[in-house]
Amino acid sequence: MPRRVGCWITLGFCLSLPWLSVVRAGNPLADVNLVVGQKQLDSREWEPAEEQDGFALESSWGGTNWPVLIAADLTYHGGDESVEGIKFEGETIELALGVRRSFRIGRFRPYAGGGVALINAEVTASGFGDSESDDDSATGFWVGGGLLW
């Protein structure tokens, strides 16, 4: 697990480099948002760890005259539950890269975006002196939107 955390920190640093070049170019526009929530996964595949609390760091950056902003989001969700002496733990980590567009309507800023997502999921069952785990990674597409004020 510590090696994985180091990889995510390194990746976060690398993703910050394009933002630094935008700041040097002048007229930067950047948003960083922290989102806290819960993910509900398919109980047929994730029970009893299908409810996962988590957080996301959403970032967008670019020039003020760019038609869209570059989007880079990092999301982590995890949950655990014990059943008859066996502890089940599940976690998902997502890295989403793409573009995001926002519009100003009075004091509100609705936004929409989309791109490519890299997703890793891991589940572990431990108990009675034994532990088993399985993980998988995949790529996919993401779309999202929201409202800032």
Domains of the chain: 2-148 (2.40.160)
What is the pLDDT, as a whole number, of residue 1?
A: 45
What is the pLDDT, as a whole number, of residue 41?
A: 84
What pTM was estimated for this model as a whole? 0.75
For residues 19 and 74, the model is more confident at: 74
Range 129-146 average pLDDT: 93
Identify the helix (H) or strand (E) that includes residue 58: strand 51-63
For residues 82 and 7, the model is more confident at: 82
- Burial (CB < 10 A; 0-12, 13-18, 19+), residue 79, is buried
DSSP 108: B
Lowest pLDDT segment from 18-22, 74-78, 115-119: 18-22
